[in-house]
Chains A and B, each alone.
Chain A
Amino acid sequence: MSNNLDLKKGLNIPLKGVAAPVVIKTVSPDVVAVKPTDFFGLVPRLLVKEGDTVLAGSPVMADKMHPEILFTSPVSGTVKEIVRGAKRKLLAVLVKADVKQEFVDFGKAAPKDADQVKDLLLKTGLWGSLVQRPYGVMAGLDVTPKAIFISTFSTAPLAADMDYVLAESLSDFQAGVNALAKVAPVHVSIHKGDSAFAKVKDCQIHVVSGPHPAGNVGVQISHIAPIMKGETVWTVNPLHVAAIGHVVNTGKLELTRKVAVTGPAAQKLGYVVAMPGMPVKEIADIAGDVRVVGGDVLCGENLGADGYLGFFQNQITILREGHDREWFGWAKPFRPKVHSSSWCYFSWLTPKKEYDMDTNLHGGPRAFVETKCFEDVTPMDIFPIYLIKACLAGDIEKMEKFGIYEVLPEDLALCDYVDPSKNEIQAIIQQGIDLMIKEMA
Chain B
Amino acid sequence: MAEEMKPGLFEKGGKLYWLHSSIDAFDTFLRVPGTVTAKGAHVRDGIDLKRVMIMVVIALVPAALFGMYNVGLQTSTLYGLDWGFWHMFWYGLLRMLPLFVVSYVVGLGIEFASAQIRGEEVNEGYLVTGFLIPLIVPVDVPLWMLALAVAFSVLFVKEVFGGTGMNIWNPALVARAFLFFSYPSSMSGSAVWVSKTWVHALKGVDAVSAATPLAIAHDGAFDAATGAVGQYSFMDMFYGFIPGSTGETSVIAILLGAILLVWTGVASWKIMVSSVAGGLLVGWLGQLAGATMVPCYYQIVMGGFLFGSVFMATDPVTAAQTETGKWIYGFLVGALAVVVRLWNPGYMEGMMLAILFMNTMAPIIDHCVVSAHTSRRAKKALTA
**Footprint of B on A, CB under 8 Å?**
13, 15, 157, 225-226, 228, 291, 293, 297-300, 302, 317, 319, 321-331, 335, 338-345, 347, 357-373, 375, 381, 383, 385-386, 401-403, 409, 413-414, 416-422, 424-427
Tally of contacts, chain A with chain B, CB under 8 A: 193
Per the bound structure, the CA–CA distance linking A338 and B48 in Å amounts to 12
Task: State whether the Cβ of B78 lies closer than 8 Å to any Cβ in chain A.
Answer: no
B45 CB → nearest A CB, Å: 5
Per the bound structure, the CA–CA distance linking A322 and B36 in Å amounts to 6
Q: Which residues of B contact A424 (CB under 8 A)?
A: 39-40
Given that A345-B51, A357-B43, A362-B46 are contacting pairs, would A325 and B316 also be in contact in the complex, using a CB cutoff of 8 Å? no
Q: Are A363 and B50 in contact (CB under 8 A)?
A: yes
Q: Are B162 and A367 in contact (CB under 8 A)?
A: yes
Given A157-B43, A344-B47, A383-B373, 19 other A-B residues pairs in contact with their CB atoms under 8 A: A297-B43, A298-B42, A326-B31, A330-B54, A343-B263, A343-B265, A359-B42, A363-B49, A364-B28, A364-B35, A366-B164, A371-B321, A372-B316, A413-B41, A420-B51, A420-B52, A424-B40, A427-B39, A427-B40
Given that A367-B165, A426-B40 are contacting pairs, would A385 and B321 also be in contact in the complex, using a CB cutoff of 8 Å? yes
Per the bound structure, the CA–CA distance linking A424 and B43 in Å amounts to 12
Given that A326-B32, A364-B121, A369-B165 are contacting pairs, would A331 and B50 also be in contact in the complex, using a CB cutoff of 8 Å? yes
Q: Which residues of A contact B138 (CB under 8 A)?
A: none
B273 CB → nearest A CB, Å: 15
A41 CB → nearest B CB, Å: 18
Per the bound structure, the CA–CA distance linking A357 and B321 in Å amounts to 31
Per the bound structure, the CA–CA distance linking A331 and B46 in Å amounts to 11
Instruction: List which B159-193 residues lie within 8 A (CB) of chain A.
Output: 162-166
Task: State whether the Cβ of B377 lies closer than 8 Å to any Cβ in chain A.
Answer: yes
Given that A228-B381, A327-B31, A417-B41 are contacting pairs, would A339 and B46 also be in contact in the complex, using a CB cutoff of 8 Å? yes
Task: State whether the Cβ of B125 lies closer than 8 Å to any Cβ in chain A.
Answer: yes
Q: Are A330 and B36 in contact (CB under 8 A)?
A: no
Q: Are A361 and B49 in contact (CB under 8 A)?
A: no
A344 CB → nearest B CB, Å: 5
Given that A330-B54, A340-B46 are contacting pairs, would A413 and B32 also be in contact in the complex, using a CB cutoff of 8 Å? no
One of A13, A329, A421 near B49 (C-beta < 8 A): A421
Task: State whether the Cβ of B266 lies closer than 8 Å to any Cβ in chain A.
Answer: yes
Task: State whether the Cβ of B11 lies closer than 8 Å to any Cβ in chain A.
Answer: no
A359 CB → nearest B CB, Å: 4
Per the bound structure, the CA–CA distance linking A386 and B373 in Å amounts to 12
One of A13, A321, A325, A342 near B31 (C-beta < 8 A): A325
Q: Which residues of B contact A365 (CB under 8 A)?
A: 121
Q: Are A330 and B321 in contact (CB under 8 A)?
A: no
A68 CB → nearest B CB, Å: 33
Q: Are B165 and A361 in contact (CB under 8 A)?
A: no
Given that A366-B49, A369-B52 are contacting pairs, would A323 and B36 also be in contact in the complex, using a CB cutoff of 8 Å? yes
One of A325, A342, A371, A414 near B32 (C-beta < 8 A): A325
Q: Are A362 and B49 in contact (CB under 8 A)?
A: no
Q: Which residues of A contact B42 (CB under 8 A)?
A: 291, 293, 297-298, 300, 302, 317, 319, 359
Instruction: List which B36-81 residues lie within 8 A (CB) of chain A.
Output: 36-37, 39-52, 54-55
Per the bound structure, the CA–CA distance linking A322 and B44 in Å amounts to 11
Q: Which residues of A contact B116 (CB under 8 A)?
A: none
Q: Which residues of A contact B377 (CB under 8 A)?
A: 226, 381, 403
One of A328, A347, A372 near B323 (C-beta < 8 A): A372
Q: Which residues of A contact B166 (CB under 8 A)?
A: 367
One of B43, B54, B370, B373 near A331 (C-beta < 8 A): B54
Secondary structure type dominating chain A contacts: loop
Per the bound structure, the CA–CA distance linking A369 and B163 in Å amounts to 11
Q: Are B32 and A358 in contact (CB under 8 A)?
A: no
Task: State whether the Cβ of B204 lies closer than 8 Å to any Cβ in chain A.
Answer: no
Per the bound structure, the CA–CA distance linking A13 and B264 in Å amounts to 19
Instruction: List which B7-39 residues lie within 8 A (CB) of chain A.
Output: 28, 30-37, 39
Task: State whether the Cβ of B5 lies closer than 8 Å to any Cβ in chain A.
Answer: no
Per the bound structure, the CA–CA distance linking A1 and B282 in Å amounts to 54
| A-B CB contact pairs (8 Å), 12 listed | A225-B384, A300-B42, A330-B50, A361-B37, A361-B44, A365-B121, A368-B165, A369-B317, A372-B268, A373-B265, A403-B377, A418-B45
Max chain B C-beta neighbours (<10 A), residue from A299, A335, A343, A373? A343
Task: State whether the Cβ of B233 lies closer than 8 Å to any Cβ in chain A.
Answer: no
Max chain A C-beta neighbours (<10 A), residue from B36, B322, B384? B36
Of all chain B residues, the one with the shortest Cβ separation from A357 is B43
Max chain B C-beta neighbours (<10 A), residue from A321, A327, A362, A427? A362
Per the bound structure, the CA–CA distance linking A363 and B28 in Å amounts to 8
Q: Are A344 and B51 in contact (CB under 8 A)?
A: yes
Task: State whether the Cβ of B287 lies closer than 8 Å to any Cβ in chain A.
Answer: no
Per the bound structure, the CA–CA distance linking A427 and B343 in Å amounts to 51
Per the bound structure, the CA–CA distance linking A365 and B164 in Å amounts to 12
Q: Which residues of A contact B31 (CB under 8 A)?
A: 325-329
Task: State whether the Cβ of B231 lies closer than 8 Å to any Cβ in chain A.
Answer: no
A220 CB → nearest B CB, Å: 16
Q: Which residues of B contact A369 (CB under 8 A)?
A: 49, 52, 125, 164-165, 316-317
A424 CB → nearest B CB, Å: 5
Per the bound structure, the CA–CA distance linking A326 and B28 in Å amounts to 10
A363 CB → nearest B CB, Å: 3
Q: Are B46 and A338 in contact (CB under 8 A)?
A: yes
Q: Which residues of A contact B209 (CB under 8 A)?
A: none
Q: Are B44 and A360 in contact (CB under 8 A)?
A: yes
Per the bound structure, the CA–CA distance linking A365 and B33 in Å amounts to 11
